[in-house]
Amino acid sequence: MSLSSENLLLEVKDLSIQFGGLKAVDSLNFSVQKGQLKGLIGPNGAGKTTVFNMLTGVYQPSRGEICFRGQIINRLKPHERCRRGMARTFQNIRLFRELTVLDNVLLGSHQKLTYGIFDSLFFTKKFHTEQKQNLDKALHLLNLFDLANKSELRAAGLPYGQQRKLEIVRALAGEPRLLLLDEPAAGMNHSETDQLMTLIGRVRKEFDLTILLIEHDMKLVMGICEDILVLDHGVKLEEGDSQKVRTSAKVIEAYLGIENEH
Amino acid sequence: MRSKIRAPLLALLIVNVLVMLLGFFTDAYVQLNILFIVVNVLMALSLNLVNGFTGQFSLGHAGFMAVGAYTAVFFVTKIYFAPGLLGLFLIGIYSIAGGLLAALAGYLVGLPSLRLRGDYLAIVTLGFGEIIRVVLLNMEFLGGPRGIAGIPPIPSIQIGSFEISSFYVAFFYASSWAVVCFFSLWRLCYSQYGLSFLGVREDEIAAEAMGVPTTKVKVRAFVLSSFFAGVAGSLMAHFTSYISPASFSFLLSVNAVIMVVLGGMGSLTGSILAAAIITVLPEALRPLQEITGVDLRMVIYALALVLIMIIRPTGLFGDREWPEIWRSWKTTRNLKKQTAAQKQSQSARSSS
Amino acid sequence: MQDLIQHLINGLGLGAIYALIALGYTMVYGVLQMINFAHSDVYMVGAFAAYYAARWFNLESMPGVVSFAILLLAAITGCALLGLLIERFAYRPLRNAPKLNILITAIGVSLLLEYSGQVIFGADPKVFPEVLNNTPLFEMAGVSFKLFDFLVIGVGLVAMAVLHFLIYHTKQGRAMRAVSVNPRVASILGVNVDRTIVFTFVLGSALAGVGSVLVGVKYPKIEPLMGMMIGLKAFVAAVLGGIGNIMGAVLGGLIMGLSEEMVVAYLSSTYRDAVAFGILILILIVRPSGLLGRNQTEKL
């Protein structure tokens, strides 16, 4: 993989954040290439989700620079970042619980709407064509994830695994360039996880996606990610392919250190 | 284009014909109450956009109604007014002006305060509502605490030798606004565009992450809601012929909230039903007052509010609309019939 | 200068009263994260409890400290009882309901008390029993210091001291603080959450009772809607200080009392009520967590 700058989708320099006295993330540097599937791993409390929250604009970093598609986006609000092609899922699922599955997906593509209040009040042609387009797209995505027959159900009524899938569908509906997945397989069993990972692989090809994935489970990440970033206590421990990470002494210590004490 | 405005026109026609038929049997007192129902419908619908669909709790609706009412009344009493058709036209223009000024007030209030959530937002909107009232108290050219009396009613209209009485014109005018408001909100809220309101209500952080500009959406809802509140205020002024800052107290805002809650937050048809109930209820309870000798109406009213919250917190319709409820009723009824028929045939078979 | 000192004293007295009521808001908010809209009407009921106690025992014929104490006791008992009932029958069934429903219930309870008050006590104002004379105590720099000024500030201070003791030096107080930090963890650790919440309501209502008697003594006109404005202002005081924060409520109350007195004295009395809302809006926009409040970030 070449490291030329035109292939660079996301570049993070010196990213740091403090909560009170705690340095949750400290001077983190990394980049994501176009088309890459990068894993972000680390023990509990390593600061993975905090990195996501800074990337998507929920938290404001106390220092550092986030460069997305060649532009510094530090000052942008979360919805503006989303409109530039960054979509995410949440570690503890945040669906629009009382809305239907379909409406959840439609809200995901809400940012693509070009019609305004006037069009929806007077049912203009533009309104109809766009509604139809988005509806078709949403149904296609739901189909892909085996959720089409649930489209009229309330999101809160779905079983846990399907809620996780729905979050991914919702994120995909906005046609993002970069998809941030926060522990997409959390709480799933083995076969469900395998299914999900194959699905992610397929989606990635179909939509030409770049994915940054937080995961707890080392094995899973090793299996599918080309590039892995290991985080511990807010600091980068190691970065590279699975071979490099697997053999890194620092990583082994961070992950296995606790077991050694026994 | 015809299909786009057919439904609203039909609705307008139907309510007007109904009220016209009803009008033969009613006296001025009932007629006034019918007009108040329409004002309250407008008030409840507009507040539902903010409190129900967008999930932001506003307790300052009366303030925006005051802005609309005072604007319209200012034009009518101080600028220019004429009888007949021209008068109706002017009243229409003035109502729009009132609505626009209320919308501006909504924008100014909403922009800073909509960053706050839940209880805080409720209190701040309450505060703004009260401030609008205090400002009006101190505006001498608007009558100060004495208010403005002698506001002309909606004029009657002469067509040839036939005169349409003031009540029918007033009802036609008010119901036109209600229809405009209802269909605007309906089309907005149930399009993909309007999903953004619901998204904000369900989960602001997720909505923001999905590219919904939450602050903008909230302000938009607030402005639109304030516009219709302002129009409702202007109607109220014409129907009561007297307004003062006291007409737009905190209690009016609470009243609006009660209607929205009773009907169901996020149900437009529910708001209409609730507005009618809440307007008629105090009148229906009048006999009780004659029997007991004390005015228990407001006590019952308040008690009812608490009981609704405890027993049926989603209100009458929840966040569903009437057609949906009607359909689910029919399905359950059919299901019951089917099972009953099945049982019957089964028992018939087993007996034979 | 004399005027200024007089206004300062008045403002402090008013502030002490606001603080007493604000404490009720802040404590309930601390444990339940809800605005107890009915608190201001509990305060109103306290004033009437004192009024009827005075008529019952014919206290006006024997003015003195004992009578004053009986008034206080009656108001405190009445308020505490009412607070307990409200919590049990209106708020507890909704403990896990959406916040909006709780807020609406609170408004409903408030209206219920106001209108019931109008039916039971009558809508017209009543004169609060006069059990103490507002005797001038001493004169300094041309300003005469009267008994009521000291009474209000003094009783207010004592009540706050008692509250401080209860919260920071008793078991129940510790339970209360635990619940306010995290009710679930507190209950796992063996704190009786229901009882603690009741305790909070009773304590807050009792303080409102104290406040109602002080107001009654100083401004002796009571009516069923008397709680509305003062309640709102006390709430603003609680928000100003940082809602959920005990010291904040006291500080907020004093600031509110002083600023209101100054606006009335040096600007115009018609803006008396606008001050409160002006302060509220300013504080919420500039610093929503209040002067002493902590900033809270939502966890994802």
pLDDT digits (tens, 9 = 90+) for B13-54: 888 888 778 777 778 888 888 899 999 999 999 999 999 899
pLDDT digits (tens, 9 = 90+) for A236-261: 888 888 888 888 878 777 776 554 44
pLDDT of residue C109: 92
Which helix (H) or strand (E) element contains residue A66?
strand A63-68
Q: Determine whether the interchain pair B213/A79 forms a contact, defined as Cβ–Cβ distance below 8 Å.
A: yes
pLDDT band at B352 (very low <50, low <70, confident <90, very high): low
Which amino acid is residue B180, in one-letter code? V
Mean pLDDT of C159-164: 86
pLDDT of residue A256: 63
pLDDT of residue C294: 63
Cα angle for residues A102, A107, A113 (degrees, 5° grid): 120
The Cα–Cα gap between A131 and A137 comes to 10
| In contact, C258 and C12? CB cutoff 8 Å | yes
Domain residue ranges in chain B = 2-320
Least confidently predicted of A164-173, C78-87, C225-234: C225-234
pLDDT of residue B13: 84
pLDDT of residue C145: 75
pLDDT of residue C98: 78
Assign domain A1-85+176-262 one CATH number from 3.30.1360.120, 3.30.300.20, 3.40.50.300, 3.40.50.2000. Answer: 3.40.50.300
| In contact, B233 and B137? CB cutoff 8 Å | no
User: Can you read off the two tokens belonging to residue C214?
Assistant: 């002080």
Mean pLDDT of B4-14: 80
Query: C133 — phi, psi (to 5°)?
Result: -95, 140
pLDDT of residue A232: 87
Q: Which of B54, B202, B205 is best to mutate for the A interface (most A CBs within 10 A)? A: B202
Q: Looking at CA atoms only, how far is residue B98 from chain C in angstroms?
A: 24
pLDDT of residue C295: 54
Domain residue ranges in chain A = 1-85+176-262, 97-174
pLDDT of C234 above 50:
yes
Domain B2-320 class in CATH: mainly alpha
Which amino acid is residue A185, in one-letter code? A
The Cα–Cα gap between A169 and A89 comes to 9
Least confidently predicted of B93-102, B162-171, C55-64, C179-188: C55-64
Q: Would you list the DSSP string of B7-68?
A: HHHHHHHHHHHHHHHHHTT--HHHHHHHHHHHHHHHHHHHHHIIIIIS------HHHHHHHH
Q: Looking at CA atoms only, how far is residue A260 from chain C in angstroms?
A: 32
Q: Looking at CA atoms only, how far is residue A79 from chain B in angstroms?
A: 4
pLDDT digits (tens, 9 = 90+) for A54-94: 999 989 999 899 999 988 999 999 999 999 999 999 988 99
Q: Looking at CA atoms only, how far is residue A260 from chain B in angstroms?
A: 40
| In contact, A185 and A217? CB cutoff 8 Å | yes
C225 at the B interface (CB within 8 A)?
no
- C294 vs B249, higher pLDDT: B249
Q: How big is the A-C interface in CB pairs under 8 Å?
A: 7
**Mean pLDDT (chain C, rounded):** 85
Q: Is A210 in a helix, a strand, or coil?
A: strand
Q: Which residue of C has its CA nearest to B113?
A: C285
pLDDT band at B3 (very low <50, low <70, confident <90, very high): low
Tell me the CA end-to-end span of chain B in Å, nearest whole number: 62
The Cα–Cα gap between A29 and A48 comes to 13
| In contact, C20 and C152? CB cutoff 8 Å | no
What is the reported pTM? 0.87
The Cα–Cα gap between B48 and A157 comes to 25
| In contact, C292 and C241? CB cutoff 8 Å | yes
ipTM tops 0.90:
no
- Cβ-based contacts of C90 with chain B (< 8 Å): 306, 310
User: Which of B298, B277, B321, B37 has the alpha carbon at shortest distance from B185?
Assistant: B321
- Cβ-based contacts of A92 with chain C (< 8 Å): 300
pLDDT digits (tens, 9 = 90+) for B78-129: 888 888 788 889 999 999 999 999 999 999 988 887 777 777 788 888 888 8
pLDDT of residue B243: 92
pLDDT band at B11 (very low <50, low <70, confident <90, very high): confident
Can you say whether residue C141 is alpha, beta or left, with left for phi > 0 and alpha for psi between -120 and 50 degrees? left
